[in-house]
Amino acid sequence: MKIKQLSIFLENKKGRMRKALEVLAHAGINIRALSIADTSDFGILRLIVPQPEVAKELLQDNDFVVKMGHVIAVEMSDQPGGLSTVLGILDDASINLEYLYAFVDEKEENAIVLLHPEDIEAGVDALEKGGAKVIIPEDVYNW
């Protein structure tokens, strides 16, 4: 139930993100979801792609520092209160969230949130018990 996510170290310098994305573009790898955490000195680019292993190797060959981690993908209805319901489940189970990012799937009229709790396993467990719709990796990669 865990989705593979690539985290890439980016220096806070002109053109660095573009370079990373170009590496993927040349290999025909489409990005499913993306977020950036940034500080004044550096950024962390987080990506969900269909072939995370291939993408990781490609990026590393181009001298990027890449780590593979996991997030949980939850589908929810695209209407007010959708996300807060999901967060409520984690809150009630006393699970801290490190970060999240969300986007809308236009075809399905649904929204998808990618969650990174401190404890991934406990997060999956709590969300499933709480009735949230946790999506399996294949579905995420094939959006």
Residue ranges in contact with other proteins by CB under 8 A: 5, 7, 9-11, 16, 37, 39, 41-42, 44, 46, 63-67, 69, 98, 116
For residue 10, the minimal CB distance to other proteins (Å) is 7
| Residue 47 or 135 with smaller CB distance to other proteins | 47
| Residue 60 or 84 with smaller CB distance to other proteins | 60
| Residue 64 or 127 with smaller CB distance to other proteins | 64
| Residue 41 or 138 with smaller CB distance to other proteins | 41
For residue 48, the minimal CB distance to other proteins (Å) is 13
For residue 109, the minimal CB distance to other proteins (Å) is 31
Instruction: State the DSSP string of the chain.
Output: -EEEEEEEEEESSTTHHHHHHHHHHHTTPPPSEEEEEE-SSEEEEEEE-S-HHHHHHHHHHTT--EEEEEEEEEEEESSTTHHHHHHHHHHHTT--EEEEEEEEETTTTEEEEEEEESSHHHHHHHHHHTT-EEPPHHHHHT-
For residue 41, the minimal CB distance to other proteins (Å) is 6
